[in-house]
Amino acid sequence: MYRRIPPRLIRTTIIFLAVILSLTAFRLPSAIRSAAAQGDVLLSDQFQDNTNNWKLTGTKSAKMTIQDGAITFDVAKENVASWATPEVQFPDDIDVSVDATVPEAVAGQKWNAAIIIRADLRDTDSGFYQFEITGEGQWNFVVRTAKGAKYETVKSGTIKSFQPADPHTLLVSARGTTFVFSIDAKEVGTFSDSSVNNDGADKYVGLLAGTFTGESSASIQFSNFSVTGTKPTPTLSVDAGNNSILFKEDFSDPKTNGWPTKTSKTSSAAFADNSLIIKTFKGTKDGILRWIGPAADLPADVDVTVTVDADEKLSVGSYSYGVGVRYYANKNNDAYFYLFQVLNTGEWMFTRYNGADDPVVVVERTKIKSFSNKVANKINITAVGNHFEFFINNKKVGEADDDQLEVQKSYTLVLTATCFDEKSSAAATFTGLVVAIP
């Protein structure tokens, strides 16, 4: 995940680079949350911005806008469909829900609003399943094969007491080759099919808006988008000879432990050559903090070690890398964690992130003796109760006490890279991640 650093909280004296991040108003963008009634929340988007990099297909006939808690499709042509997908892939067995609204709708208008699932691509070549409501009060199961070779309704029905201008909650539950469609918490139909992208690979989901023959335009809004399912089971004890190991990552495949790797306009996270590479790009005025973590349930007390190598050619200006522990998100997707980070100035600092509230610097930036950013460095944080200790290359650099985050049943961890202004960039390569019992 990532977030721009708002300028209103940046100190004017640029020398205090380490404090810039600590003064940032930090709110987790549309992101992964913890447990929900239908399973783990794999993605929740409240559409305050395009953090999840929604991509519109069919730009010649429609426009997509994300703001003020909604994603809006303005369709400007008769008998067309336009859809958008976030840059996140999901397993086959998931539940997808969203609230759909057509504010100016009147009875009899010929528009459709839909959830799409199991899309293999993010363009017009994609095949997918489509679950829709129409302005005429119909619900439809629709199948689209690759490149639209087959695009047809295979099952439909009438929605009782349908009011087209009212908000309607759509829910699709997919299990194997069986799909259940619910509208406003009422199940309307079940459908079975195995003809589209039934290969078991992770795929895209999305939202679709369109018009039918006789309707030249429509404006359709979606809000409260959520995908729930089961997170991948992490490797909680991979070293049979060491019972203290809770989690170990060789960075060979992001799917093994559920690392949500992806690339955006401002940053990227990817596995390559048994390493995790996090990059933040130049050009973002207020800087970028990018973080990523596995789908691992970890206790509060942990000993986390990882080796980090900053790419000198790609890392320029003011940047840092780090490890965050006791990471969790609340129901509003606000992120909470403790971050131990190393700056390219040869300093370290420790910060508590408090969801939507301002972060708090627990330990101000502190000079690291005999530190070189030109070589790989092993960083280690140990958390026991309210006490934290910090090590760089097996040498203790400091300690701190803090107990201000709420106690959770479980947590995960995050690895981070940060650039602090539009002239800076960061590229950090992480290897050898081990989480042990302290």
Q: pLDDT of 145-194, one tens digit each?
A: 999 999 999 999 999 999 999 999 999 999 999 999 999 999 999 989 99
Does 237 score more than 80 pLDDT? no
Residue 239 pLDDT exceeds 80: no
- Would the pTM of this model clear 0.85, i.e. be above it? no
Q: Is the pLDDT of residue 4 over 60?
A: no
Query: What is the rounded average pLDDT of the residues 392-420?
Result: 94
- Residue 6 pLDDT exceeds 70: no
- Give the Cα separation of 17 and 312 in Å (integer): 19
pLDDT of residue 24: 31
Distances (CA, A) of 177 to 57, 121, 156: 26, 19, 18
Q: Report the range of poorest mean pLDDT among 233-242, 318-327, 332-341.
A: 233-242
Q: Identify the residue with better confidence: 88 or 21.
A: 88
Give me the pLDDT at residue 233, please: 52
Q: Tell me, what's the pLDDT at 36?
A: 30
pLDDT at site 242: 55
CA atoms within 13 A on the CB side of 348: 27
Is residue 311 over pLDDT 80? yes
Give the DSSP H/E element, type plus range, for residue 159: none
**Confidence at 265, pLDDT banded by 50, 70, 90:** confident
pLDDT score recorded for residue 282: 81
Confidence class for position 197, pLDDT limits 50, 70, 90? confident
305-to-143, 269, 383 alpha-carbon distances in Å: 48, 19, 12
141-155, 239-253, 278-292, 310-324: range with highest mean pLDDT: 141-155
Return the pLDDT at 420.
Answer: 85
285 vs 136: which has the higher pLDDT? 136
Q: Kindly give the residue spans of alpha helices, DSSP state H, lying in 161-237.
A: none
DSSP state of 295: S
Average pLDDT over residues 312-327: 91
- Diameter over CA atoms, the chain: 74
Does the structure show a pLDDT above 80 at 7?
no
State the pLDDT at residue 287: 82
Residue 374 above 90 pLDDT? no
Instruction: Return the percentage of the chain with pLDDT > 70, whole number.
Output: 88
CA distances from 75 to 60, 83, 126, 211 (A): 9, 10, 20, 7
Q: Is 162 helix (H, G, I), strand (E, B) or coil?
A: coil
At 364, list the tokens: 């101000």
Is the pLDDT assigned to residue 34 strictly greater than 90? no
At residue 232 the predicted structure's pLDDT band, cuts being 50, 70 and 90, is low
Please name the amino acid found at residue 103. Answer: P
d(C-alpha 136, C-alpha 318), whole Å = 57
SS3 22: helix
Give the pLDDT confidence score for residue 316 in this predicted structure: 87
- Where is 367: in which H helix or E strand? strand 360-367
